[in-house]
Amino acid sequence: MGLLSWLIVVPFITALAVIFTPARKTAWIKWISLVGTGFHLVLTAFTTWRFWQLAAPEAASMKTAQLMKLHLEERIPWFESLGIQYLLGVDGISMSMVILTSIIIFTGVLASWKVEERAKEFFALLLVLVTGVFGVFLSFDLFLFFMFYEVAVLPMYLLIGIWGTGPKEYSAMKLTLMLMMGSALLIVGFLGLYHVSGMNTFDLTKLAEATFPASFQKWAFPAIFIGFGVLGALYPFHTWSPDGHASAPTAVSMLHAGVLMKLGGYGALRVAVYLLPEGAKDWGLFFMVLTTINILYGSFGAITQKDLKYFTAYSSVSHCGFVLFGVAALNLMGMKGAVLQMFSHGVMTGLFFALIGMVYGRTHTRMIPEMGGLAKVMPWLAVCFYIGGMASLGLPGFSGFVAESHVFLGGFFGNPWTDATIMRTLTVIATMSIVVTAVYVLRGMAKVFLGPVTDPHFHALTDATLTERISTGVLVATLAVVGVMPFLLIDLIEASIMPIVNRLHASGVTVALH
């Protein structure tokens, strides 16, 4: 079994180990989960190193490549008559997403250290979920991809429905149904790709060699883009996200907002834009308009929220807008920015939900107006929250700035297929979010953490425990490392974005490179 299979199997084995542990031994269950995910983190680091060895020498030649290059490929025929295979591989984009997921699940397990209710089922489902996520990022056969995708979405229903808070059944149902609607669009699009290509294969790398007729691309692109967009909180299909996040338990919110929503941007880039460049050119502007709405709408929506989780969820809607905005900009900087933003937002929002869980665990409220002056009693959590906030408003030195500057430049530079003036106008509108974000982040956090302690009970509260410090510390460090040394991540992903850009330019009318 290859390295990549191990990346998928390790969480699954850990889940099995959890299942075979007696339910009352909750400490064992947590330690097993922690060791499993910790080992996964090490394995991810090793894989990254291996990948880097293989990919670095080729970075120069990728500048003109039309087809993506997979590394550490594993290819086993599965349903041969249908051309379905077990095809794993990794390129820079999936590598960065695997790193992200591995960090989030590790910190997520630490952040769930206080879960006592049905701990066994909780951790098992969490690990199954993350198995699906790794599967999605590593599989390059659309069928396998879709299968893992469903594996990732379904445990969510149970996790929210059982361990959630508030109107949890409603939220779980809404989330699952809306994502299923996206899946329905996806499966239609995938089957269309399969049939129209006439190649009897779901292999993404093979399908990229096919030329899809423009009439097909015209409807398949929006189907697939919206299908993924639902998961990426594309306006107006985002409303599952505030409810879902608000109801979900901490680790689930972390995984969901941190990783699962990234599947949307990932798929939109990888499948929709890469395979259907003509469709992308036709629909690019349409989706830029929608995502511009996303960006501003989410940030304005966040200003008046009272519940910290809704607050973060709307902020996510805005930040995920940047991902799809970058993808829809259809140029190198935009798409690179999209991937950077996926990584950055994943870590950032993981941090936010972890912190909200920790604060809620102490104050037993998530309502912003009921809190105040918490920095005095929980300085560690306050500092981490502020760092997350600063990263989210795009302060240089954290990953958010790297991503957003790419996306803004990408939008402003435009592409040869879209009206430059409209794109620039949209970009200018989108940039306004940096002010609105500063407003809601600073207002919200000042109310919660600064000023005098409003409730005398708060004086008895404690600061972060060791597990919480490790969990939040890792996330904060990740934000800072990417922000201070952005070249690490950029070198990793840039070469893998080039084929997508080059294909856009190669198909149809070729115009000067942007």
**Partner residues linked to 75 by β-bridges:** 87
Binding residues for another protein restricted to 286-315, rule: CB under 8 A? 297, 300-301, 303-305, 314
Coil, helix or strand for 45? helix
- When binding is defined by CB under 8 A, the residue of 390, 391, 426, 474 that contacts another protein is 390
- Cβ contacts of residue 177 below 8 Å, gap of 6+? none
Q: Tell me, rounded to whole angstroms, the distance of Cα 218 from its chain centroid.
A: 27
- When binding is defined by CB under 8 A, the residue of 206, 309, 406, 503 that contacts another protein is 406
The nearest distance, CB 303 to another protein, in angstroms, is 4
- Cβ contacts of residue 364 below 8 Å, gap of 6+? none
Instruction: Quote the strand ranges of 229-334, DSSP E.
Output: none
How many Å apart are CA 219 and CA 229, to the nearest integer?
15
Q: Decide: is 470 part of the binding site for another protein (CB under 8 A).
A: no
Lay out the site mask for another protein across 173-212 (x = CB under 8 A, - = otherwise). -x--xx----------------------------------
Q: Decide: is 434 part of the binding site for another protein (CB under 8 A).
A: yes
Question: Are 319 and 337 in contact, with CB atoms under 8 Å apart?
Answer: no
How many Å apart are CA 138 and CA 237, to the nearest integer?
26
Query: Please, which residue, 18 or 333, has the CB nearer to another protein?
Result: 333
Query: Please, which residue, 17 or 495, has the CB nearer to another protein?
Result: 495
Q: Decide: is 396 part of the binding site for another protein (CB under 8 A).
A: yes
Query: Please, which residue, 506 or 513, has the CB nearer to another protein?
Result: 513
Question: Applying CB under 8 A, which part among 42-50, 150-158, 330-338, 463-471 lies near another protein?
Answer: 330-338
Alpha helices by DSSP H, listed for 450-485, are 466-484
Which has the closest alpha carbon to 123: 23, 42, 39, 40? 23
Query: Please, which residue, 282 or 307, has the CB nearer to another protein?
Result: 307
Question: Are 294 and 367 in contact, with CB atoms under 8 Å apart?
Answer: no
The nearest distance, CB 264 to another protein, in angstroms, is 17
Q: Decide: is 162 part of the binding site for another protein (CB under 8 A).
A: no
Question: Applying CB under 8 A, which part among 152-160, 247-255, 349-357, 431-439 lies near another protein?
Answer: 431-439
How many Å apart are CA 473 and CA 480, to the nearest integer?
11
Question: Are 265 and 324 in contact, with CB atoms under 8 Å apart?
Answer: yes
How many Å apart are CA 325 and CA 295, to the nearest integer?
9
- When binding is defined by CB under 8 A, the residue of 125, 207, 333, 377 that contacts another protein is 333
How many Å apart are CA 90 and CA 96, to the nearest integer?
10
**Angle (deg, nearest 10), helices 26-55 and 92-111:** 160
Q: Decide: is 397 part of the binding site for another protein (CB under 8 A).
A: yes
Q: Decide: is 490 part of the binding site for another protein (CB under 8 A).
A: yes
Q: Which spans of this chain sit near another protein (rule: CB under 8 A)?
A: 174, 177-178, 235-236, 238-240, 242-243, 297, 300-301, 303-305, 314, 332-333, 336, 373, 375-376, 390, 393-397, 401-402, 405-406, 408-409, 412-413, 427-428, 431-432, 434-435, 438-439, 442-443, 446, 449-453, 486-487, 490, 494
